Amino acid sequence: MATPPVKKIACIGAGYVGGPTMAVIALNSPDIEVVVVDINEERIKAWNSETLPIYEPGLDEVVKAARGRNLFFSTDTKKHVGEADIVFVSVNTPTKTTGIGAGKAADLTYWEGAARLIASVSTSSKIVVEKSTVPVKTAEAIGKVLKRNCSDPSVNFEILSNPEFLAEGTAIEDLQKPDRVLIGGVDTPSGQAAVAALKWVYNHWIPVERILTANLWSAELAKLTANAFLAQRISSINSISALCEASGANVQQVAHAIGTDTRIGNKFLSASVGFGGSCFQKDILNLCYVCETLGLREVADYWHAVVTMNDYQKQRFVERVIGSMFNTVSNKKIAIFGFAFKKDTGDTRETPAIDVCKGLVRDNAKVAVYDPKVTSEQIFRDMSTPKFEWDRPDYSRSHTRLLDNVQVCATPESAAEGAHAICVLTEWDCFKHYDYAAIYEKMTKPAFIFDGRNVLDHDKLREIGFITYALGKPLDPFLQKVY
Ligand SMILES: NC(=O)c1ccc[n+]([C@@H]2O[C@H](COP(=O)([O-])OP(=O)(O)OC[C@H]3O[C@@H](n4cnc5c(N)ncnc54)[C@H](O)[C@@H]3O)[C@@H](O)[C@H]2O)c1
Ligand SMILES: O=c1ccn([C@@H]2O[C@H](COP(=O)(O)OP(=O)(O)O[C@H]3O[C@H](CO)[C@@H](O)[C@H](O)[C@H]3O)[C@@H](O)[C@H]2O)c(=O)[nH]1
């Protein structure tokens, strides 16, 4: 492939996507200067320090190898965006909380802000890459903003859609060896030249056959569709987990039996207390809103059921805990093992733990949370923040409030001491290896354990004396609801 003149890349947004993605591009492309910019000074400071702002296995090594060589983090947005040949935009695209489409539509405030900034500082033509997840047709709107706000008529903007498919906890692996990279562009000579330029960047380490191209709208829609399909699998198996508990079947056996059918496949079939993370719910709501505005009510309803089932699963778990504990958790200490939305991340965005803890606290329980990677500040902030408010650029700097019924513990043992129950809400590997016999000794009896992730050895726990709930598995008679 010929080498297009890409000397400098800037990325607006130094978050979970912008930071790791640019670090991997810089690592593999020493001939390109890569600068990640953000309005959040603290975040940029952290990216330039020994303690990076996010925890992701392998990220430290990648950043250390490239930082100061051809990878830089800066708050000087204007300078670096102005100088760049390619500008990635990886800013928040939260669910709207007010106005038309509140609770559903994507809020493109930050995206539009980024586009206005690019237009205002551009004195040379640029490729603008949508890295953020956006509703289909966003590129058209952004194109208009860019064109009308740039004072230099000789400047041309080519917009590409290059959605990111990394999952947290495996971001570096996913970026180094992606299943595919998707690039959407318009079918004009300059549009295709822009696609070729971005392809050239990725081809530094990704074989061409893994770099897919499509038209802009297909690329934008493929991202929403991928997340909808992935989340749908989890809601599907979670719906079956409820049926398993009601019928005496075992959801892991069912998942294994169906997953060996190669048409179904065995991935993403772990029943859980519910899916979390910053993307699935937001992107499905966004997809539903797009469908609704296009008059596709039935399509919107179909996908919305995935979110409804997820909410049901979280609520069902809370009801199981309360119902099993004789219908009252009032003033009972309940240990929460795991607050992150999945293992190997400190990220708590839309974690099911928030809804479960809030549900228990509403019934006057006293929750004692332990998570190996989530700070107490974060837990208090999450527990006192209204839904969807977390996805704002200034959220991490908002004040935290201590809450009467929430305690954050430094060890699992202190969380469980005197507790009536333990709820496992994240599948951290370390949870498997605790001395549960010693933990049991210090708990109030009967001591319950509710495994919302099916990571523990349930037979062993029963031998120790725990009343054990394993999600989607035949129910211990002790756990039948008391009315
Ligand atoms: N987190 C993921 O795993 C993931 C994966 C794929 C796609 N996405 C999508 O990528 C986008 C970013 O997600 P994220 O998780 O990295 O979010 P994030 O909140 O971690 O990071 C976004 C960053 O953008 C910055 N920002 C916002 N407006 C800005 C502006 N005008 N100028 C400079 N900086 C600005 C914020 O300060 C913040 O640091 C979203 O659209 C998301 O849906 C996320
Ligand atoms: O079998 C499973 C698999 C996952 N989960 C849960 O689903 C959520 C999401 O997990 P995962 O998809 O692994 O992590 P994310 O980082 O949210 O990644 C998703 O969302 C990203 C943002 O759009 C996409 O880029 C990724 O491709 C997509 O996997 C987590 O709460 C998991 O615990 C389950 O409950 N059961």
ipTM, interface predicted TM-score of the complex: 0.98
Whether residue 64 is found in the same domain as residue 200: yes
Residue 278 resides in a domain: yes
Whether residue 161 is found in the same domain as residue 309: no
Residue-level pLDDT at 397: 65
Q: Is the CB of 451 under 6 A from ligand 1?
A: no
- Band of pLDDT at residue 45, cut at 50, 70 and 90: very high
Looking at all shown ligands, the one closest to residue 354's CA atom is 2
- Band of pLDDT at residue 285, cut at 50, 70 and 90: very high
- Band of pLDDT at residue 391, cut at 50, 70 and 90: confident
Whether residue 395 is found in the same domain as residue 269: yes
- Band of pLDDT at residue 387, cut at 50, 70 and 90: confident
Phi-psi bin for 97: left (phi > 0), alpha (psi -120 to 50), beta? alpha
Q: Is the CB of 272 under 6 A from ligand 2?
A: yes
> Which CATH number does the domain housing residue 365 bear?
3.40.50.720
Please confirm, yes or no, whether 279 is among the known catalytic residues.
Answer: yes
Atom of ligand 1 nearest to the CA of 18: 16
Q: How far is the CA of 277 from the centre of ligand 2 (A)?
A: 7
Closest CA to ligand 1's atom 44 = 17
Cβ 88 vs Cβ 12: under 8 Å: yes
Q: Is the CB of 40 under 6 A from ligand 1?
A: yes
Whether residue 148 is found in the same domain as residue 62: yes
Whether residue 470 is found in the same domain as residue 369: yes
pLDDT tens for each residue of 132-187: 999 998 999 999 999 999 888 899 999 999 999 999 999 999 999 999 999 999 99
Residue-level pLDDT at 477: 84
**What is the count of structural domains for the chain?**
2
Whether residue 186 is found in the same domain as residue 270: no
Residue-level pLDDT at 455: 98
Residue 212 resides in a domain: no
Whether residue 182 is found in the same domain as residue 117: yes
- Band of pLDDT at residue 482, cut at 50, 70 and 90: low
Whether residue 197 is found in the same domain as residue 268: no
Mean pLDDT within 335-364: 96
Catalytic residue among 279, 288, 357, 423: 279
Atom of ligand 1 nearest to the CA of 394: 37
CA 483 from centre of chain: 38
Q: How far is the CA of 280 from the centre of ligand 2 (A)?
A: 7
Closest CA to ligand 2's atom 36 = 270
Mean pLDDT within 203-222: 97
Q: Is the CB of 286 under 6 A from ligand 1?
A: no
Whether residue 325 is found in the same domain as residue 180: no
- Band of pLDDT at residue 400, cut at 50, 70 and 90: confident
Looking at all shown ligands, the one closest to residue 341's CA atom is 2
Smallest CA-to-CA distance from 94 within 128, 37, 48, 134 is with 134
**Is residue 483 predicted with pLDDT exceeding 80?**
no
Q: What share of the chain is helix, strand, coil (3-state, %, to 5)?
A: 45, 15, 40
Residue 2 resides in a domain: no
Q: Is the CB of 395 under 6 A from ligand 2?
A: no
Q: How far is the CA of 17 from the centre of ligand 1 (A)?
A: 6
> What does the alpha-carbon distance between residue 312 and residue 368 come to, in Å, rounded to a whole number?
24
Rg (CA), the chain: 24
Q: Which residues are annotated as a binding site?
A: 13-18, 38, 43, 91-95, 132-133, 168, 279-282, 349
Whether residue 137 is found in the same domain as residue 43: yes
**Is residue 392 predicted with pLDDT exceeding 90?**
no
Cβ 86 vs Cβ 126: under 8 Å: yes
pLDDT tens for each residue of 53-97: 998 999 999 999 999 999 999 999 999 999 999 999 999 999 999
What is the percentage of the chain residues whose pLDDT exceeds 90? 91
> What does the alpha-carbon distance between residue 381 and residue 383 come to, in Å, rounded to a whole number?
6
Residue-level pLDDT at 40: 94
Residue 199 resides in a domain: yes
Q: How far is the CA of 131 from the centre of ligand 2 (A)?
A: 18
Residue-level pLDDT at 388: 83
Atom of ligand 1 nearest to the CA of 40: 37
Q: What count of other Cβ atoms lies within 10 Å of the Cβ of residue 328?
A: 12
Whether residue 263 is found in the same domain as residue 202: no
Residue 228 resides in a domain: no
Give 150-153's long-range contacts (Cβ < 8 A, gap of 24+).
Answer: 150/119, 150/120, 150/122, 152/122, 152/123
Q: Which two tokens stand for residue 20?
A: 């790791």
Q: Which residues are annotated as a binding site for NAD(+)?
A: 13-18, 38, 43, 91-95, 132-133, 168, 279-282, 349
Atom of ligand 2 nearest to the CA of 163: 25
Q: Which of 206, 236, 265 is the last residue of a domain?
A: 206
Closest CA to ligand 2's atom 23 = 279
Residue-level pLDDT at 195: 97
Residue-level pLDDT at 368: 98
Mean pLDDT within 5-11: 94
Q: Which of 206, 231, 262 is the last residue of a domain?
A: 206
Residue-level pLDDT at 445: 98
Residue 216 resides in a domain: no
Residue 368 resides in a domain: yes
Closest CA to ligand 2's atom 33 = 342
Mean pLDDT within 404-418: 97
Residue 237 resides in a domain: no
Q: Which of 138, 172, 206 is the last residue of a domain?
A: 206
Closest CA to ligand 2's atom 6 = 275
> What does the alpha-carbon distance between residue 25 and residue 175 come to, in Å, rounded to a whole number?
9
Q: Is the CB of 110 under 6 A from ligand 1?
A: yes
**Domain interval for residue 442:** 249-479
Ranges of beta strands (E only) in 344-466 are 366-370, 406-408, 421-424, 448-451
Whether residue 310 is found in the same domain as residue 448: yes
